[in-house]
Amino acid sequence: MIFYDEKSRIFTLETAHAAYQMRVDRYGFLRHLHFGEKLCGGSCEGLHTVGFMSFSPAAGEMGEDYVSSLDLAQLEYPVFGAGDYRSHCLSVVFADGARNPELVYASHRVIEEKPALEGLPALHGACETLEITLRDRWAELEVVLLYSVFEEYDAVARSARIVNRTGAPVKLDAALSVCLDLPESGFDLLHFHGRHAMERLVERTPLMHGKLCVDSVRGTSSHQQNPFVILCDHAATEESGRCWGVSLLYSGNFTACAEEDQAGTSRVTMGINPAGFEWRLEDGESFQTPEAALVFSAEGLGALSRRYHKLYRRNLCRGEWARKQRPVLINNWEATYFDFDDERLVRIAKAAGELGVEMLVVDDGWFGSRFDDKRALGDWIVNTEKVRGGMKSLADRVNALGMKLGLWFEPEMISEDSDLCRAHPDWFLHVPGRGYSRCRQQLVLDMSRREVRDAVHDMMAEVLSGANIAYVKWDMNRHLTDVWSADLPADRQGETAHRFVLGVYELLERMESEFPHVLFEGCSGGGGRFDAGMLYYYPQIWCSDNTDAVERLEIQYGTSFGYPVSAVGSHVSACPNHQTGRTTPFHTRGVVAMSGTFGYELDLAKLSDGEKEQVKEQVKRYHALYSLINDGDYYRLLDMTAQRELSAWEFAAEDGSRALLNIVYSHVRANFVPPVIHLRGLTPDASYRMTDDAGREVGVFTGAVLMRAGFRAPRAESSYPAGANDYPAFQYDLVRL
């Protein structure tokens, strides 16, 4: 709910467990007061005044009121040049070269809906939105701040729209989405770093006097950093402590900056990375920043994650597949790579269908002259030497086996050795007259250009409309370099990277609108574009190219802090693993992959009869547990950053009627005493029958016993040399009696 007190000029946004409060001060500046636990109708006004500090200037009409300096204030949308020397959200250059806007309150209104953002992903659903207009004291530049309140999830969606009414062009050097100012210090920052095939590893760092920034200038959100951070108390755990999440719904260059300042207050800003960014805003035009989702929890990191999970499942993902059960698939990549034809694909589909798998996905190599990874990207025309009879023939044959058919595309890329590149050598990102970078034998199409997007769209649409294709894996296998567009003049090249992202979003919107029954999955060399912006366009993302079950424990652990299991692409793959060479038991691979959109990446012909029986059982078990895994509450039961021996996590139905406990050993030690694991999300005074994944009863226990006394993890026995017990996994089903 949104409240406004005209006398005090205080805005209060209330959710189920939290309150967000700000006020317009006597000079017209919009100051942040509180984002945290509910205030029960109270006001924070006057509680957080820092007092006088030398070298903190008084802006504009403040005269000599240095105590009110913007350098010492908690602000909703700080700007560069007006006396606030900390991280800022807006930097603007006016026609006369001035850089010192003073944004003061002009008006506000409450909208009984969640507005969409033109050309950008955004949360949706029933909610109230507060729109506050700030105006530069000296020129007709407006910043419209949007606050959409999702009460159930203790979430506030924030963005800004910058409107130029000055009568002349202005230049934006920075246009971030959100600032969160807290009037105290003593916080940690959690961020999620990594690299290709090892994404979203958790790092927890105390804030310092100075700026701690995580960012990407790679043209995508990247494997290396993720546009999601958490600010929390030093002592915060899974079950206790204050936590603030800041998640950016954007898939390009971003920055997240956290700092403690001279006055002992803390600030987090997030938005489009200003590095390389410039935007010319003509008179009468506006610029919309991406949306950021802020979530608060006073009950620790686990509650924060579960709020994000529900918010994104219900109010970010869209379309037919947002809540619909996804098919179990098999991808041919690790079985065949580029070496396949239609007969081999049909054999894979037949063998998979007999085991209960529901869809065959044909990965790279079905198009153009794509016999290896050095050619034909951009030529999205069926290779009839490999797929004889065309894609419709293959789809019909696969469908006749009771299976669906899916295809891999990489729409944003082009090979130098391709018909498209030979026909349009100016369509990829590069600066004419200069050399250009190559990566993974491919170049990047200029998706900011309409004619490029139209050409890609037409090729993809012809394939998808010509055959019964049920699924598309949308990949992107390199980052942006030589970012320059032939469509823009020299003084607007700083817009190219953002226009690239907007172009990708526009193409995705067109494809999904035209093919609403197709399940789209995102990918970028695995998890290189695993962000909330992409979840608006497709409900699942390939989590990592690293399919090693032991490595995936850490990758999926970090991913779970901000993203729901229903978004995590996870498959059982071949062993020895193609990325690490590790051999893990088939059962262990199944347990890990079940914490995601389940499927297979292996050659079924190489499986033993026993392993094929396990596939049947895994598919059957996943179907039975689908709702619990994808819609249930997710609990991290052990801290993977504190110990490395084993991982434990749980899914619990919201009503406490059922739970699934998962335990996987990643390091077996001699004489190791397994930890006691405290379950969560159960009904304390109810009894639960606990069975293992073979259906054997472990016992009947009350929820209180399992949550408060705990359950000791089973002991792992290792065999050397490497054998079936080296990375054991256990699943326990709990049903309330």
The DSSP annotation for 92-122 comes to: EE-TTS-----EEEEEEEEESS---BTTB--
* Per-residue confidence (pLDDT) for residue 669, from 0 to 100: 84
Q: Quick one: tokens of 285?
A: 């035009």
Is 273 inside any structural domain? Answer: yes
- Residue 589 resides in a domain: no
List the structure tokens of 724.
């079936």
Q: In this structure, which amino acid lies at residue 610?
A: G
Omega of the bond prior to 721 within 30 degrees of 0, cis? yes
- When pLDDT is averaged across residues 10-38 and rounded to a whole number, the result is 96
Helix axes 549-559, 586-593, angle to 10 degrees: 10
- Selecting among 259, 261, 531, 548, the annotated active-site residue is 531
Supply the mean pLDDT for the chain: 96
* Any domain includes 439: no
Amino acid of residue 256: A
- Total domains in the chain come to 2
Active site residue 512: no
User: Do 726 and 718 contact (CB within 8 A), yes or no?
Assistant: yes
Last residue of a domain, one of 265, 296, 315: 315
Mind listing the pLDDT tens digit for each residue in 516-532? 999 999 999 999 999 99
Residue 356 included in any domain:
no
Region of 581 (left: φ > 0; alpha: ψ -120 to 50; beta: rest) is: left
Whether residue 350 is contained in a domain is answered as: no
CB atoms within 10 A of CB 487: 14
Residue 554, phi then psi, degrees to nearest 5: -75, -40
Start-to-end C-alpha separation, the chain:
39
CA dist list (Å): 558 to 3, 204, 663: 37, 12, 16
β-pair partners for 599: 329
pLDDT of residue 434: 94
568-569 and 540-542 beta bridge pairing = parallel
For residue 498, tell me if it sits in a domain. no
What does the alpha-carbon distance between residue 536 and residue 556 come to, in Å, rounded to a whole number?
A: 20
Q: Which of 315, 332, 352 corresponds to the end of one domain?
A: 315
Mean pLDDT of 260-282: 97
Q: What is the mean pLDDT of residues 60-64?
A: 88
Instruction: Using the structure block, give the residue that is written with the tokens 């959200």.
Output: 89
**Per-residue pLDDT reduced to its tens digit, 569-610:** 999 999 999 999 999 999 999 999 999 999 999 999 899 999
pLDDT of 647 > 70? The answer is yes
Three-class SS of residue 133?
A: strand
| pLDDT value for 718 | 56
What's the average model confidence in pLDDT over 549-556? 97
Q: Which of 295, 315, 335 is the last residue of a domain?
A: 315
Give the per-residue pLDDT at 726.
83
Provide the CATH number for the domain around residue 661.
Answer: 2.60.40.1180
Q: Which of 203, 396, 611, 617 is catalytic?
A: 611
352-404 per-position pLDDT tens digit: 999 999 999 999 999 999 999 999 999 999 999 999 999 999 999 999 999 99
Which range has the worst mean pLDDT, 57-71, 263-277, 381-395, 460-474? 57-71
Tell me the pLDDT tens digit for each residue of 156-168: 999 999 999 999 9
- Residue 18 pLDDT exceeds 50: yes
308: domain CATH number is 2.70.98.60
pLDDT at 51: 82
Structural domain contains residue 142: yes
Confidence of residue 725 (pLDDT cuts 50, 70, 90): low
- Residue 717 has φ and ψ, to the nearest 5°, of -110, 125
Mapped onto helix, strand or coil, the DSSP state of residue 270 is: strand
> Has this prediction a pTM greater than 0.75?
yes
Burial label for 712, CB within 10 Å (0-12, 13-18, 19+), is exposed
Domain limits for position 675: 646-736
Residue 188 falls in the annotated catalytic set: no
Q: In what order do the strands lie in the sheet with 18-24?
A: 2-5, 10-14, 18-24, 30-37
196-200, 266-270, 715-719: the lowest-pLDDT one: 715-719
Asked whether residue 396 is assigned to any structural domain, the reply reads no
pLDDT at 720 over 60: no
